[in-house]
Structure 1
Amino acid sequence: MTLATQVNDQQQSITISGLNKSYDHTAKGELHYILKDVNLTIKSGEFFVLLGPSGCGKSTLLNMIAGFVSKTDGQLKVGKSEVEKPGQDRAVVFQQADASLFPWLNVRQNVEFGLKMKKVDKARRNEISSYYIELVGLQGHEQKYPRELSGGMKQRVQLARVLANDSSILLMDEPFGALDAMTRRTMQKELSHIWRQTGKTVIFVTHDISEAVLLGQRIGIMSRGPNSKVTDIYDVPLHYPRDPGQPDFIKLEKTIQAHFDHEYSI
């Protein structure tokens, strides 16, 4: 079953121009911007990382792309369509898998939930769920419930469910932030492999420079908030799978660290 072929037909670029987000007004009646004048283009099938310190608006921007948070003004398009609400073309993977998994459903039932809501027949649901359960390395655990799974396994279930729903864009909000270091590295490698297998567009939020360099084709640097924006974009010309011990990896990591050191020294 070549599910990646289905995805390629759905892929669309994301275009952001002059995007602003304000939540409230100051005492003087001036707008208080969380995001100010964000300009960014993300190509179809790209693995793009949004990197920045906590509180800089990374998650807000991701939620705006998802359609969960409305813009104040500016443009935010997926393909030719302005984003006004959530859509089936965009799926979100959260940091805490417990918030999205149904505890009364086992692994297979969780993965098949969206397909069942779409009224996909049972045989096809089983075929699709089996494919993605194997892809994320959960074969043999299909009958287990979330309470019986480790944190890393729960994230695998969440990822398999998103992939099974066949959204062309994956929005990932620090999905490995709550995992221990060893599990996190395993999941990073798995995600990189899955992205290369499926060809989906991935937008990945993190504040970890090493994680950004390990995963992204391009890294968008967000400035400190408020009035945060994407100030710089770094290309990552390293082959997959990547080795954090390679000289070129370390060099780029240090370059990006120096960028943040300079910004915070101002």
Structure 2
Amino acid sequence: MSLAIQSPEQTITIANLNKSYDQAVKGELHYILKDVNITIKGGEFFVLLGPSGCGKSTLLNMIAGFVSKTEGQLKVGKHEVHKPGQDRAVVFQQADASLFPWLNVRENVEFGLKMKKVSKAKRQEISSHYIELVGLNGHEKKFPRELSGGMKQRVQLARVLSNDSSILLMDEPFGALDAMTRRTMQKELSHIWRKTGKTVIFVTHDIQEAVLLGQRIGIMSRGPNSKVTDIYDVPFQYPRDPGQQDFIKLEKTIQAHFDHEYTI
């Protein structure tokens, strides 16, 4: 299996990270995230797994620079995160929210490059490469309204890749897709990650999806005061088979973790 090369510049270091609401409750801060400590290696596919409302998206948005921290350390490479940066790109669950309906597939993919004043010829070269990589050849002139949900997500992914951000932050990007399209997109993402060597942080509440994609899975506790309580290594080769006994065993182990937390 071909794996991404670890890059110190892409390593994300999170130490004693806290995020609280602005208002205090009974004189005490109400924390969404409390004492989060993880290191995500450059070039790694890392999954944040936890139930809805546990702060997964908040943590992802803090890494993206969209949400400020309350206390603690959050670094990409040697640099503290204070704002969004070109090294970090976000793929959202709803592609409709990020695609421009008046632009066709190629124009959407090239939008960021055009803003950077990349030449027309170079834009076309880059967009053609990533349109092919995500399997959208032949659909370049279609508009978002003419695309299925899975195709829209492919456009969003191609646009992010064309901007060449080294870190992809993915917030349940396949959650709104039907089961068959979701499985196809999971396979495509795994292939693209192994081919490009980018760092991927992927948020999900689906255990099977986490085991299918991640090299490591960070388990988030229920909120408030949520943190990463455990990290599971996933030793399986890519591409992975959910029907394999070792796969099923790890899936059940992680499920038991959540079953235990929610019965104590």
Would the TM-score normalized by the shorter structure come out above 0.5? yes
- Cα deviations across residues 2-58 of structure 1 (Å, max 9, x unaligned)? xxx9x9889510000000000133441100000000000000000000000000000
Question: 1:22 maps to what in 2?
Answer: 20
* Residue type of the alignment partner of 1:163: L
- Whether 1:144 and 2:133 are equivalent positions in the alignment is no
Question: 2:170 maps to what in 1?
Answer: 172
- Cα deviations across residues 113-133 of structure 1 (Å, max 9, x unaligned)? 000000110111000000000
Question: 2:102 maps to what in 1?
Answer: 104
Question: 2:202 maps to what in 1?
Answer: 204
TM superposition score normalised by structure 1? 0.96
Please report the RMSD computed on the Cα atoms of aligned residues, expressed in angstroms: 1.4
TM superposition score normalised by structure 2? 0.97
Question: 1:43 maps to what in 2?
Answer: 41
Question: 1:121 maps to what in 2?
Answer: 119
* Residue type of the alignment partner of 1:179: L
In structure 2, distance between residues paired with 1:9 and 1:121: 29
Question: 1:86 maps to what in 2?
Answer: 84
In structure 2, distance between residues paired with 1:26 and 1:77: 27
> Which stretch of structure 1 is more off in the superposition, 205-214 or 7-16?
7-16
- Cα deviations across residues 213-264 of structure 1 (Å, max 9, x unaligned)? 0000000000000000000000000000000000010000000000000111
Question: 1:153 maps to what in 2?
Answer: 151
In structure 2, distance between residues paired with 1:260 and 1:42: 22
SS of residue matched to 1:44: coil
Provide the aligned length of Structure 1 versus Structure 2: 261
In structure 1, distance between residues paired with 2:15 and 2:215: 21
Question: 1:12 maps to what in 2?
Answer: 10
- Cα deviations across residues 138-171 of structure 1 (Å, max 9, x unaligned)? 0000000000000000000000000000000000
Q: 8 Å contact 2:96–2:152 — kept in the other structure?
A: yes
Distance 1:169 1:42, change over 3 A: same
* Residue type of the alignment partner of 1:203: I
Question: 1:187 maps to what in 2?
Answer: 185
* Residue type of the alignment partner of 1:109: E
Gaps of 5+ in 1: none
* Residue type of the alignment partner of 2:215: Q
Q: 8 Å contact 1:11–1:45 — kept in the other structure?
A: no
Report percent identity of matched pairs: 88
* Residue type of the alignment partner of 2:21: Y
In structure 2, distance between residues paired with 1:15 and 1:51: 18
